[in-house]
Structure 1
Amino acid sequence: MNRLSLLLTALVAVPASLQAAWPDGTLFTAPFGPGGTWNLYQAVSKPMTWTEAQSAAERLVDPLGKTGKPGHLVCISSAAENMFVYQRVQGFYIWTGLTDNEKRGGKEARDDRNGGWHWITGEPYTFQSWRSYEPNEMEATGEDAVSIGASGRWLDMPNGADGQTENKQASMIEWETRSPEPVAGAVKLERVLPEKWSVDLSAWKGEVIGEGPWTVMSSVGLDTFSIQTVAQGLDEQIHAMQTAFRMPRLNYHVEHITLFAGGWVEIKDFPAFPMRAGPCGALHVAKVKLDKPGTWSINVHGDDYFAVRFPGHKWKSVRGLAGIDPLDAETMYYECESADGCGIGVIDLPAGESTIEVMLGNRVNDSMIQVLAAPGEQTMDGSTDQWRLPGHKAAGDLAWPGVSSKGWTVIRKKPPVGAKPMEKLMDGMALPENAPAVTAEGVEKINYIDSDGASDIEFPNPVELPGDEPGPQDQFVVMAQAELVIPRDGLYHIGIQSDSRCALRIADQQWLRIIRDTSYHVKVEGDTIHTENPDRKSTNGQLFAEIELKKGSYTIEAFYVNVKGPTSLAVFGAPAGYAPRLLAKDGAKIEPDIDGLPLVMPAK
């Protein structure tokens, strides 16, 4: 069958249902017990309050008779287990066994992600996946229960008891079978990628279209029920394809039909191969060649599913929303249908050649993939400004923006006593001049948290807000101003990150376009970009936009309003096309560019 016939067949084979749900009550087994042992799980789509769901689990003895023990709401110890639960329960929200209720062993946490939360089994609370402005105890009667929502992120909700609102959701039950083998009679969790692809794209000798170090094959009309079905469908189809594609970089989106979160640098280009806004997938393969062994960090942003593997080499660690396949330590993956699925994996690579495989799976709407790499062990997007697209060649020098030697002036204000609580960005902007305030002068950079209510951070070593008090704080405004210094004429990407409502202004200058918006609510108004409460599918509030500036100085202002919940705030910038650094005092510099992770150009 030729390539055109395969494409037409795939187009008419699009599944009627994008995701056929697992039947309610399905039993699963997965290796998330201590030491990789296999536990038993059951999906429960019937909506119940957290208290009702936990009580129902406690009344249900292991249905396969392996332990004779009652169940409990699922307790999650890794990103892989979090994704496993999210993918197998019918329901937008899914109850977990995490609580800060004193009767259940917890302690009131309010906005604090680290203090007071307790798994119902008493097992260690070592993994968390909160939404940016969660936990926040928005309900006046309390929110003592935790559920998984969009993108696999957590939020606190009322537990339906102890005077709290009755909020009814789906759930998952877990039994501590701790079996050395998969539990017989339950659906077994399978590895994400096939052990070996049916086609070795790293050694492809057939027809190719395009040029570049990445060799790619793709297919539309795949079964996108899970990341495993995408991989299986690709593997079944690519062995019959006669043509592969070549790409210069892995930094593209399929169709520019929506404003999606995007990656840490600008997402460029459309793919030359057949992908579309709907169920589809692609396998990208390249060869890495290093002069000496070393540790590298691989930074991936993807929509919806992605998996990255260096065959023969195990990941040392993975951070962000992605995780390591519990059945294949060579595979890092994400499968929670988010336009900002993200993960950073750390791996040791040998001298000589290694293969890198990147699979992308899309369920609905637009799709994108970005793969960056940096030397050393990195733990977050902003941990280094050395992220480069693999194969990148140094382009002379780079002009980095910064702020003047005066640093930042930061003012933190509170509404006056008796004032109406703030709900919107404009409420904070309307605070009177005489509102209670704390001022800090000569601040080196904007990288703040509330010490006891810290949200997602993009840059390491954030500091406490000016005037920070013990305990998590709500209802305050942060205003920061500085003299932005631009070392030479050019295009720049300047941005702000927070948990929620924020704005950024470069006085009297026109923003050209948005590069990244993780809130999905960005607005551009003249010299100001801003966002309100992030959309429920978002990961945090981060705006990164392009602007053309001449060499010189400009007034830059950042504005943040905390209504309720954790806090983070950072302001950053970069020459267009590069990962940013914080806009720091005396930080404007012209520095040499660096090469990216070296890739081998395939023979023609």
Structure 2
Amino acid sequence: MTLRSPAILLVLCAVSGAQTLYTAPFGPGGTWNLYQLKGADTWNGAKSGAEASPGPGGLPGHLVTLSSIAENHFMRIISNRQSVWCGLTDDERFGGKEAFSRQREGWKWVTGETLSFSNWKPNEPDEWTNGEDAVLIDRYGRWSDGGTGVAGQASTRLPYIVEWETRSPAPVEGATPLTRTWPEQSVMPDPVRGRWAVRWVAGYARIPRTTSYRTPLSIQEGAPLLAKDAGKPDAKGFQLASIQNQGKSLSRNAWLWMSTPDSNRQGWLAGIDEELSNFPSIPPRSSYVAATVGKIHVETAGTYTFAVTAEDCFALRIGGLKWKSTTGDGYIDPLDPLTFTQPNGTFSTKALGVMDLPAGDHLVEALWMVETSGSEFHVLSAPGAHLTEGATTAWRPLGHQLMDRPFPAIGISGAGWTVDCSAASPLPKGDSQTGLQDGLIKLELDLNRISKSDLASINFSDSPEANLTHFPDASLFPNDRPGVPDDHWPLRARARLVVTEQGTYQIGLHAAGLAALQIKGGQLIRPLQTAQGTKDLNMRQDSFDFNGQVDNNSEPKIITEWQLEKGEHEIDVFYLKAGGPASLAVFACPSGPFGPGLLATGGAKPAPDLPGLPLSSR
């Protein structure tokens, strides 16, 4: 008997009741499983309820398990943008081991599967209150730990998703299937030689919503509007303003880089301020969908990585070629290997896609969609295959043309960084509320503090395998104690900053906690990117402090712009771990279209520009 038989269809009707059944190819080898949203219960009750839900042919169900970002985003569609329970736990009764604030170690799926994919909020898990051994997926698709409802843990009641391992070779009949992202009809503007051509449709009321406001907007909903407007004139390409540094124009590029003044500016190259010169005037709280097309030139065949920042969702194709792999918020469409996408509205999307490009010209086609005002859509490229933005400093905006001059450099002297941090005993929890100054005093008075010197860079994490800082090869904190919930301790890092040329530079921290940075003799100009705007940022002439203990989906990261004189400067970084996963990285680059790197020894060496993937002149 197959899943297509009438008998099975009758079973599906009995299973679904008044609730929709969904099917998607996330089983082994791309086979199709069944999914269904159920009513609210505690996690323990949800686990029992899922296992008591018979599927086709009496197939047992279980709380959903997730193995990819594509499946994770599919849960957002099923859940109608509600927080839901999934089947991940660190409860020893179900094969787990107390994870505390670690994002990989200790967690197990209820099916016994090992955790190979995760999508935690930046400061989760945090093992709050009386323990949190369950995991929920929030409305943005991010994970948090929560109480199971037993053994004194919180009895939070949430909807949950049941999965049945049907492993069908085709979509299960009678269930709503996952559909491909890229539209069947043509929606792209006509190409413009040497420019990016853009077509857009704006207006909140014109963007359809298939169900309630909670349902995220999607490329599938918005793209048909572009086809309806296909007869209208296209934007005849755009040219971005010059990058300025020290009052001199460095370049004039036609980049695939668009943002509005009210954008969140979450791209990896935070110091680029240019806005699309003919960008449409978008009313507040407006939605719009846009299509962009251009032709890039590849001089040297090879593997390239593309980094996309999109507010809110996107789909990208290049040269009709298949994508090889992805990381971050985007994924290869399971039904279309030519499309790299995150098709549903969310917070700022950041994703990396890898493909092999032959030499020659290649057509780039992009769709992106904005749920409310505050728009940005950026595409960067770098040679090689990279799993994270911090793996290379070779990022350049797509369309970048080679500059004819070296760019300045910034690094740390050969003596490296010196780090002091509290010993094994953390500060009392209440001390995290007293702020950085008290933490620094307590560190100076700690006779058992741990000191390390001659460190090449600052890139620490208590979960190195989770890549919290976006820079590879993070080290454990010097005072880390595996298996122990170390919270609320201070750390200080000091070094000599080397600047090769007077000018403006970007200095950044990735700090899950309270943090401060000072550069003696430096002039702090402005913040370029912050986790929660500027409400938790205090700026002075040569220093700043901020609260990176964010409670939303923003990363605990800040990037600032400085005016620095040529020579050496003292740099001082202070960090106070305040609960949840710990991470600290210090990074920098010259202002302009340059990828930041860890602020490290050997970094202060001026170098020529790197070729990007420029627009074709043909």
**Residue number among 165, 168, 178 corresponding to 2:157 in the alignment:** 168
* Counterpart selection for 2:132 from 143, 148, 155: 143
Partner of residue 274, structure 2: 269
Distance 1:454 1:443 in 2: 22
User: Matched residues in 2 for 1:41 and 1:454: separation?
Assistant: 28
- Tell me the CA shift for residue 162 of structure 1: 2.2
- 1:431 aligned residue: 442
2:525 to 503, 506, 512: 512
Change (3 A) 1:169 1:182: same
The structure-2 alpha-carbon separation of the partners of 1:515 and 1:601, relative to structure 1 and needing over 3 Å to count, comes to: farther
1:513 partner letter: R
Unpaired segments of 5 or more residues in structure 1?
Answer: 1-22, 205-210
CA deviations over 1:333-386 (Å, ceiling 9, x no partner)? 124644431111110011222211121111123111111000011111111110
Choose the corresponding residue for 2:358, options 350, 358, 373: 350
Residues 487 and 579 of structure 2 are in contact (CA less than 8 Å); yes or no, is this contact kept in structure 1? yes
Q: Please give the alpha-carbon distance, in whole angstroms, between the structure 2 residues aligned to 1:304 and 1:151.
A: 11
- Find the partner of 1:564 among 567, 576, 579: 579
CA contact (8 A) 1:486 1:551 kept: yes
Amino acid at match of 2:50: A
SS at match of 1:300: strand
Alignment partner of 2:124 out of 127, 134, 150:
134
Contact 1:27/1:186, CA 8 A, preserved across alignment: yes
Counterpart of 1:468? Answer: 480
Q: Say whether the 8 Å CA contact 1:400–1:573 is kept in structure 2.
A: no
| Cα displacement string for residues 110-154 of structure 1 (whole angstroms, at most 9, x for unaligned residues) | 222222211112234211111222222122x21111111254221
Task: Please tell me whether residue 31 in structure 1 is matched to residue 44 in structure 2.
Answer: no
Give, in whole Å, the separation in 2 of the partners of 1:467 and 1:112. 15
In structure 2, the CA distance between the partners of 1:533 and 1:584, relative to structure 1 (3 Å rule), is: closer
1:532 aligns with 2:547: yes
Residue of structure 2 aligned with 1:73, choices 63, 67, 70? 63
* Contact 1:227–1:305 (Cα < 8 Å) also in 2: yes
CA 1:235–1:183: 2 relative to 1, 3 Å: farther
Structure 1 residue identity aligned to 2:382 = A
Question: Where does 1:150-165 land on structure 2 (aligned, <5 Å)?
Answer: 151-165=140-154
Q: For residue 419 of structure 2, what is the amino acid of its counterpart?
A: V
Q: Structure 1 residues 417 and 349, CA, compared in 2 at 3 Å: closer, same or farther?
A: closer
Cα distance in structure 2, aligned partners of 1:387 and 1:355: 20
Query: What is the RMSD of the two structures over their aligned residues, measured on CA atoms?
Result: 2.5
Task: Say if 1:252 and 1:268, in contact at 8 Å, map to a contact too.
Answer: no
Shift of 1:525: 1.5
Equivalent AA in structure 2 for residue 326 of structure 1: P
Amino acid at match of 1:274: P
**Which of 397, 402, 409 is 1:400 aligned to?**
409
Maintained 8 Å contact 1:34/1:178: yes
Which of 595, 598, 601 does residue 582 from structure 1 map onto? 598
- Distance apart, 1:595 and its partner CA: 1.8
- Residue 232 of structure 1, CA deviation: 2.9
Structure 2 CA distance for partners of 1:340 and 1:428, relative to 1, 3 Å: farther
Q: How does 1:361-440 map to 2 (within 5 A)?
A: 361-395=369-403, 396-413=405-422, 419=428, 421-424=430-433, 425-426=435-436, 427-431=438-442, 433-435=444-446, 436-440=448-452
Paired positions, count: 567
Report how far residue 266 of structure 1 moved. 2.7
For 1:324 and 1:318, the matched residues in 2 are separated by 7
Residue in 2 that maps onto 1:316:
324
SS of 2:606 mapped into structure 1: strand
Distance 1:218 1:37, change over 3 A: same
Supply the distance in 1 between the matched residues of 2:432 and 2:600 (Cα, whole angstroms).
31
SS at match of 1:243: coil
Matched, 1:220 2:210: no
Q: In 2, Cα distance between the equivalents of 1:31 and 1:508? A: 58
2 CA distance for matches of 1:476 and 1:487?
Answer: 35
Three-state SS of the structure 1 residue aligned to 2:528 is strand
Q: Deviations for 1:523-568, whole angstroms, at most 9, x for unmatched residues?
A: 1411223321444333421111111111122111112111222222
Report SS of the residue matched to 1:54: helix
Which amino acid is 1:175 matched to? W
Q: 1:30 to 1:389 in 2, by over 3 A?
A: same
Counterpart residue type for residue 612 of structure 2: G
Alignment check: 8 A CA contact 1:400 1:486 kept: yes
Q: Quick one: distance in 2 between partners of 1:201 and 1:428?
A: 59
Match of residue 14 from structure 1: none
Match of 1:165, SS state, is coil
Residue of structure 1 aligned with 2:612, choices 587, 596, 601? 596
Q: What residue identity is the alignment partner of 2:384?
A: G
Q: CA deviation at 1:453?
A: 8.6
Q: Displacement of 1:451 after TM fit?
A: 5.6
Q: Give the C-alpha shift of residue 448 in structure 1.
A: 1.3
Q: Is the 8 A contact 2:219 2:367 kept in 1?
A: no
CA–CA distance in structure 2, aligned partners of residues 75 and 87 of structure 1? 16
Question: TM-score scaled to structure 1, two decimals?
Answer: 0.88
Q: Structure 1 residues 24, 259: closer, same or farther in 2, change over 3 A?
A: farther
Say whether 1:549 aligns with 2:569: no
CA distance in 1 between partners of 2:349 and 2:188 (Å)? 27
8 Å contact 1:234–1:282 — kept in the other structure? no
Is 1:58–1:70's contact at 8 Å kept on the other side of the alignment?
Answer: yes
2:37 is matched with 43
Residue equivalent to 1:244: 235
- TM-score of the superposed pair, with normalisation by structure 2: 0.86
Displacement of 1:400: 1.2
Structure 2: state its 5+ residue gaps. Answer: 1-16, 210-215, 239-253
Per-residue deviation, 1:311: 4.5
